[in-house]
Amino acid sequence: MAANNILYAQSGGVTPVINATAAAVIETARGYADRIGRVFAAADGIIGALEERLVDTSSLSDADLRALAQTPGGVFGSCRYKLKSMEENRREYKRLIEVLDAHGIGTFFYNGGNDSADTANKVAKMAEELGYPLNAIGIPKTIDNDLAVTDNCPGFGSVAKYVAVSILEASLDVMSMSSSSTRVFIMEVMGRHAGWIAAAAGLARREAHDPPQIILFPEVAFDQEKFLAAVDASVERHGYCSVVVSEGARYADGTFLADAGSTDAFGHKQLGGVAPVVAEMVKSKLGHKYHWAVSDYLQRSARHIASRTDVEHARAVGKVAVELALEGHTGVMPVIERVSDDPYEWKIATARLDDIANHEKKMPDEYISDDGFGITPAARRYLEPLIRGEDYPDYGTDGLPKYLRPELESVERKLPDFQPS
C-alpha cells in the first residue's frame, strides 16, 4: 500500500485555535490530491492512534472546515498521555508504526506542546530505526507559550487576549463597588512554570493607575509580607486592588502555593487552586473583603474573543506542516519567527524537534518589573501584537456561535486490539 495518507492527532490541553490548525492541515492536503491520499485523524490523540481508533476527514465539507476553524476544544479529541522512552516501552512505538503501515500512512502530525514535541521526535527516530518511511512532524500548540525556538505558540495569543480583557472588565466592576463592598479581586490563570499568561494580564495596565496592580509570576519567588504590603498600598491609593496570580506561583524554596500533593499523567505536580490560598492571606492578614475567580477552562476555550493574529499563526503552522512533509522533512516543527515588533511582522521557519523537546521557555528577567509585580515595556512590545485583531465565529439566529460537532466516519480496524501501558 502506498504510504501517502496522513494521520493528524491533537495532544494535551486544547486551545481556542487548535482546530484552526487542523482545518488548515486538511485544506492544504486537499490541495495536493495528486500527492496526498486520505487525511485521517486519531480519536483522542496518541491513545486513539495506538488503539487504532481513526476517523476519516474526507466527509468534512468546505463549510464544515470553516466551522471547524472557528470551534474551540479539540474536535477530534485530545489526551494527556506521555509515551515513555523507547527503551522503557518499545512496544507502543512499534504498535504505532504497525497502525501507520496498516493504513498506508506516510505522514504523522502531532499537534501539541512540549511533551508532544518529544513524542513526535521519538516516533521519527523509531521509524528511521525500523526502516519505515515516515515524515513525523510536530505542530506547535500551547496556551502556556513555553515552547523553545518559536517566538510564540498558537493558542497563547487568544488566551492572552481573554485574560487581559477579563481582568480589565472585572476590575471595572470592583472599582464600582469598592467603597462599600469588595476591595480585592484575585484572578487565577494557568501557567505552571512560565508566567506568560499572567504577564498578558499586564497589557490591561495602559496607565500607571490601571489594573492589575499586582501580578504573581512563577519566575518570582512569592514573599507574603511584600505581597500584602503591596495589596494594602493599592487599596489605600486606589480604593481597591486587582491581583492576577499564575497557578504556578511558588515560594523561594520552590514549593507551590497550591501544591495538592499529587501528580498528573505527565508527572507534573497537581495544583489545587492558588486564588483561594492568596485570598485567605488577604482576609486573615488584612481583613479586606475579597472575591476570587479561576479562569481555568474558560481561558483556553474562549474562541468568541480569539486574537486574529493567533488564528493566523495557527493556520500558518498547519499549512506549512503539510508542505514540510511533501518536501520530505521529518523530526521537525514549523515555528513562528518574529521579523519586527513595529510594525509586527512574522514568518514561518523550521526547527528541529531535538531543539524543542524537553526545553522550556520561561519569562525573561527583562520582561518583569523591578518590584516583581508587573511587566516592563519590553514585555509589552512582545505581547501586544499577539492579541491584536478579532476573529469572531459565525453566529446563528439563536445568538450562539455555530460551533462544529461533526459525525465522522470511523476507519475500519485492521489490527488486533491493543492496550496502551
Helices (H), 31-113: 45-50, 62-69, 90-102
Average model confidence (pLDDT) across the chain: 95
pLDDT at 264 over 70: no
Query: According to CATH, where is 3.40.50.450 located in the chain?
Result: 5-142+304-359+390-410
Report the catalytic residues. Answer: 144
Does residue 293 sit in helix, strand or coil? strand
145-172 pLDDT, tens digit each:
999 999 999 999 999 999 999 999 999 9
pLDDT at 262 over 50: no
Query: According to CATH, where is 3.40.50.460 located in the chain?
Result: 156-301
Tell me what the mean pLDDT of segment 47-62 comes to.
97
Q: Which CATH class is domain 5-142+304-359+390-410?
A: alpha beta
Does residue 412 sit in helix, strand or coil? coil
220-246 pLDDT, tens digit each:
999 999 999 999 999 999 999 999 999
What grid cell was written down for 421? 501501558
99-133 pLDDT, tens digit each:
999 999 999 999 999 999 999 999 999 999 999 99
- % of the chain exceeding 90 in pLDDT: 92
Distance CA 73, CA 139 (A): 16
Tell me what the mean pLDDT of segment 34-58 comes to.
97
43 to 23, 36, 53, 156: CA distances (angstroms): 16, 21, 6, 24
Q: Tell me: domain 156-301, CATH 3.40.50.720, correct? A: no
349-398 pLDDT, tens digit each:
999 999 999 999 999 999 999 999 999 999 999 999 999 999 999 999 99
